[in-house]
Amino acid sequence: MLEKYKATSDDQHKLQWELRQRESEIAELQKALSDMQVYLFQEREQALRLYAENDRLKIRELEDRKKIQHLLSLVGPDVGEITYFYREPPHKVTIPQKKLQPSSQDQRRPAKTVTRRKGVKSQEGETVESPDHYKRDNQTLMLQVEALQAQMEEQTRLAKEQVESLLEDRRIHAEEAQVQRQRDEERVAALTDKLQRTQNLLYDSTKDFLHLKFEIRAQEKRWMVEKDQLLRKLDSTQERLGGSQGPGGGRGPRGRAPAALEEELKQAHRLADMYREQCVGLEADLAQIREEGDVGREIFKERSDKIAKRLQLMTQRYEALEKRRVMEVEGFKTDIKHLRQKLKDVEKQLFKVAVNVGPDQDLAILHEVRQTNTRTKKVQNELRTLKAKIYGLENELRCC
């Protein structure tokens, strides 16, 4: 019976150890999932920063090109600086001859007048092209506003997704804490029930042991009384046998008395042997009962200590989970507050930029920005499947 109880206890301990191992694996997977979500949001923020930098560089490149075109239109092409490229090398090689430059002052003066005329033309060109310059500035500002609007939309979408993710994590953590709390309460109730049943069993076994002990003592007293009676009968019989021996004592009715007395003596010896065997057997049973009582008491003490330690551990875990839940709720509230503040700052910045310019949008830039969401959606789908697997494992462990 003890071996069977030991095997059952070992199997139960093994199952509890496997369950704790699975719970630790689930906790590690949940932590990895949270880290993956954090890395995903960091990557998206980095991508948004890169997109903003790319838009800024594109706008700067466009401004530089416009400035170069404006400068080229002001200066005009120089004949000496024009370079021609051949797709194939020429068949004939020509060596140009150097021409002598005229050194007379008459030829230098028209050049000055020409340069002055060019300067006047360039000034006139600047006065004429000033509205175009303002138009280009307006276009640049419109592109900047469109880029900022796209960035604003992406930042808003990212902040909204972060808030939704934080709320989802908060809901999941709350559900997990509720489930863990229910499990702890069920375990505490089960352990309390087991403790109560064990105490009742100990009380019953102690009561039975004391009852058997009292019965054995009473039986021993009765045996001692019977033994004394038998010994007195034996002494009286021996005295009768000794007194009846004499001349002519073996004849008649007196001759029959020794045979009856011998028969009674043999019967008394048989009864004494039988009572002695019963006493030895009862003493063996008493020793076995005492040994079983000691073993049961030790087992009960060990299990009571284990249950008390487990109850203390469960209480500590419950307090730690409650503290962690409170800290996570505070962290979620702080993150949501920071995200809302960041969103308000971006809205203020966009409002300041969009006060003087119309709300036109660049569809090409938005299309490029929206194309980057496919990878994010794919990662989110993978995270959802991973969460579904984790919930499936938790349900299987609950069923077990």
Distance, CA of 26 to CA of 176 (rounded, Å): 11
- The one-digit pLDDT tens for each residue of the chain (400 residues) are 667 777 887 888 888 888 888 888 888 888 888 888 888 888 888 888 888 888 888 888 888 888 888 788 888 655 555 555 555 555 554 555 544 444 444 444 443 333 333 333 344 444 444 566 666 677 777 877 887 888 888 888 888 888 888 888 888 888 888 888 888 888 888 888 888 888 888 888 888 888 888 888 888 888 888 878 887 887 787 777 766 554 444 444 444 566 777 777 788 788 778 888 888 888 888 888 888 888 888 888 888 888 888 888 888 888 888 888 888 888 878 888 887 787 788 777 767 766 654 445 555 555 655 666 666 677 677 777 777 777 777 677 666 5
What pLDDT, on a 0 to 100 scale, did the predictor assign at position 16?
83
- 248 phi/psi in degrees, rounded to 5: 75, 15
Q: Return all residues near 149 (Cβ < 8 A) that are at least 6 apart.
A: 350, 354, 359, 361
Distance, CA of 256 to CA of 270 (rounded, Å): 22
Contact 155, 48 (CB under 8 A): yes
**How many CB atoms are located within 10 Å of the residue 180 CB?**
17
Distance, CA of 73 to CA of 132 (rounded, Å): 12
Single out the residue of 182, 162, 175 nearest to residue 391, CA to CA: 175
The radius of gyration of the chain from alpha carbons, rounded to an integer in Å, stands at 54
Single out the residue of 21, 19, 26 nearest to residue 392, CA to CA: 26
Q: Return all residues near 56 (Cβ < 8 A) that are at least 6 apart.
A: 147
What pLDDT, on a 0 to 100 scale, did the predictor assign at position 148?
83
Contact 7, 361 (CB under 8 A): no
Sign (positive/negative) of CA torsion 48, 50, 51, 55? positive
Single out the residue of 58, 145, 154 nearest to residue 353, CA to CA: 145
What pLDDT, on a 0 to 100 scale, did the predictor assign at position 132?
62
- 359 phi/psi in degrees, rounded to 5: -90, 40
- Mapping DSSP to helix (H, G, I), strand (E, B) and coil, where does residue 256 land? helix
Could you tell me where the DSSP H helices lie in the chain?
2-75, 105-244, 252-353, 363-371, 373-399
Distance, CA of 168 to CA of 335 (rounded, Å): 14
- In the structure encoding, which two tokens stand for residue 371, read together? 């194309």
